[in-house]
């Protein structure tokens, strides 16, 4: 994923409007009246901001193409291929929900009639071409950079500050001045855009939590985050899917328009307390110290963000106070390596604590089970006696 693209998003969608195959098999008698369509039939013309009709969530997507790339082909080249690509994006987004957990059918509708041909910084398209983007209609823009210039970096998902996502599709690995065809089916653009739509719909990246044993100077253990589209979005549809965590985020966020929705999602549905239980060789430990080591850039650091002592073998910690270090919603730690030291024996035990674990607990308790009591995420660290 860290490879080529950056992406962002969306699609369009006609496939979902069709009837199921079964409905076509019903013979219609000559004098039978045409069935009237149900009132809720999806009509793209009705789609505005935060569109959710109870069956479909839909978004109009503004498309932009860099002028350097556009000048090397003609409009037909882009329009025909974009249409195909966005059908594939829509298909992939839904097919990655393999257990039918999504509460809505998602539809991404690219505007292929008024494509913006942009000059200058791709991240500035929403500002520089504001008069071309109806803020009451578009909740997301996808800019393609087919020809990069010296010094241009990677893509990804950004925000205009008010909840309109700004997704950039670019391949920073290609030679400046050369045309890279993001619309070729053999590229990973469809998968990348679906991943960026994950951000658009309020999910954080999960791949940065991966840690190699050699990058953990504290305990020497490795860590692999849960598989999913925000971890590795590139496998074929048959080989990957939205994880349960990702599906929970998609369902709770729906069609919501919000600045950095993924941060808001974490904050609003986070568990209340994290309860640690410490054992040594399976026996309760009375009296210990907990150290929370920071992780960053795929490494465990030797910096301790929090430290605490406890007398009994259980201790509760305010979950938000543990993860958020500043007042802004985006000021949180992604993951800790937690170290437990038995006061009596001096032996140490460890566990990784990625932010999506207590968040998952919060989503289950507060959204799915709607509990009125406080939500607790429980974590046990079993200390193994150190080898001499």
Q: Which of residues 110-129 bind Zn ion (CB under 5 A)?
A: none
Question: Which window, 12-20, 59-67, 201-209, 287-295, contacts Zn ion (CB under 5 A)?
Answer: 201-209
CA distance 137 to 370: 33
Helix axes 75-95, 189-200, angle to 10 degrees: 60
CB of 230 to Zn ion, least distance (A): 6
**Residue 378 burial (10 A CB sphere; 0-12, 13-18, 19+):** middle
Query: SS3 breakdown of the chain: % helix, strand, coil, rounded to 5?
Result: 25, 25, 45
Contact residues for 302 (Cβ-Cβ < 8 A; gap 6+): 217, 218, 293
Distance CA 89, CA 189 (A): 9
Pick between residue 117 and residue 227 the one whose CB is nearest to Zn ion: 227
Q: How many CB atoms lie within 10 A of CB 80?
A: 12
Closest CB 201 distance from Zn ion, rounded Å: 12
* Residue closer to Zn ion, measured from CB, 248 or 366: 248
- The 3-class SS string of 141-185 reads EEEECCCCCCCCCCCEEEECCCCCEEEEECCCCCCCCCCCCCCCC
Please check whether residue 322 is in contact with residue 328, taking contact to mean a CB–CB distance below 8 angstroms: no
Region near Zn ion per CB under 5 A, out of 52-60, 166-174, 202-210, 245-253: 202-210
Q: Decide: 281 and 257 in contact? Cβ < 8 Å.
A: no
Q: Which of residues 295-354 bind Zn ion (CB under 5 A)?
A: none
CB of 204 to Zn ion, least distance (A): 8
Q: Which is nearer to Zn ion, 111 or 205 (CB)?
A: 205
Nearer to Zn ion, 206 or 338 (CB): 206
Smallest distance from Zn ion to CB 205, Å:
4
Instruction: Give least dist CB 358 to Zn ion, A.
Output: 21
Determine the residue with CB nearest Zn ion: 205
**CB of 154 or CB of 287, closer to Zn ion:** 154
Bridge-partner residues for 386, per DSSP? none
Of 301, 287, 306, which is closest to residue 346 (Cα–Cα)? 287
Stretch near Zn ion under the rule CB under 5 A, chosen from 204-212, 256-264, 334-342, 369-377: 204-212
Shortest Cβ distance from residue 195 to Zn ion (Å)? Answer: 6
263 binds Zn ion per the rule CB under 5 A: no
Question: What is the DSSP-derived secondary structure letter of residue 194?
Answer: H
Write down the least CB distance from residue 198 to Zn ion, Å. 7
Which among 74-82, 126-134, 203-211, 374-382 is the span making contact with Zn ion, rule CB under 5 A? 203-211
DSSP state of 324: B
Closer to Zn ion by Cβ: residue 195 or 317: 195
Number of residues that bind Zn ion (CB under 5 A): 1
Segment lying near Zn ion (by CB under 5 A), choices 30-38, 59-67, 83-91, 205-213: 205-213
Considering only 205, 241, 246, 357, the residue that binds Zn ion (CB under 5 A) is 205
User: Least separation, in Å, of the C-beta of 324 and Zn ion?
Assistant: 21
Binding site for Zn ion (CB under 5 A): 205
């Amino acid at each position: 994923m860290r490879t080529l693209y950056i992406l962002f998003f969306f699609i369009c969608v006609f496939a979902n409007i069709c009837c199921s195959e079964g409905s076509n098999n019903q013979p219609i008698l000559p004098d039978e009246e045409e069935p009237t369509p149900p009132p809720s039939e999806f009509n793209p013309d009705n789609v505005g901001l935060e569109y959710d009709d109870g069956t479909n969530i839909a978004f109009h997507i503004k498309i932009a193409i860099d002028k350097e790339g556009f000048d090397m082909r003609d409009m037909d080249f882009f329009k025909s291929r974009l249409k195909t690509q966005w059908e594939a994006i829509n298909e992939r987004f839904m097919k990655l929900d393999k257990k039918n957990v999504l509460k809505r059918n998602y539809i991404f509708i690219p505007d292929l009639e008024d494509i913006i041909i942009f000059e200058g910084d791709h991240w500035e398209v929403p500002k520089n071409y504001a008069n071309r983007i109806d803020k009451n209609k578009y909740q997301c823009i996808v800019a393609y950079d087919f020809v990069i210039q010296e010094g241009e970096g990677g893509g990804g998902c950004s925000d205009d500050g008010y909840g309109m996502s700004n997704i950039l599709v670019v391949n920073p690995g290609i030679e400046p001045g050369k045309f890279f065809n993001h619309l070729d089916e053999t590229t990973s653009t469809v998968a990348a855009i679906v991943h960026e739509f994950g951000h658009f719909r309020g999910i954080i990246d999960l791949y940065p939590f991966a840690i190699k044993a050699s990058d953990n100077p504290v305990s020497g253990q490795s860590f692999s985050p849960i598989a999913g589209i925000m971890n590795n979005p590139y496998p074929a549809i048959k080989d990957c899917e939205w994880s349960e965590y990702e599906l929970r985020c998609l369902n709770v966020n729906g069609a919501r328009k919000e600045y950095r929705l993924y941060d808001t999602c974490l904050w609003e549905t986070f568990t209340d307390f994290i309860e640690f239980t410490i054992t040594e060789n399976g026996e309760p430990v009375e009296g210990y110290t907990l150290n929370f080591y920071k992780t960053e850039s795929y490494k465990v650091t030797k910096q301790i963000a929090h430290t605490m002592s406890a007398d009994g073998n259980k201790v509760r910690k305010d979950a938000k106070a543990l993860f958020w270090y500043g007042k802004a919603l985006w000021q949180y730690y992604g993951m800790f390596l937690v170290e437990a030291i038995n006061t009596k024996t001096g032996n140490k035990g460890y566990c990784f604590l990625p932010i999506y674990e207590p968040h998952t607990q919060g989503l289950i308790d507060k959204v799915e089970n709607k509990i009125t009591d406080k939500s607790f995420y429980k974590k046990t660290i079993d200390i193994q006696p150190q080898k001499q």
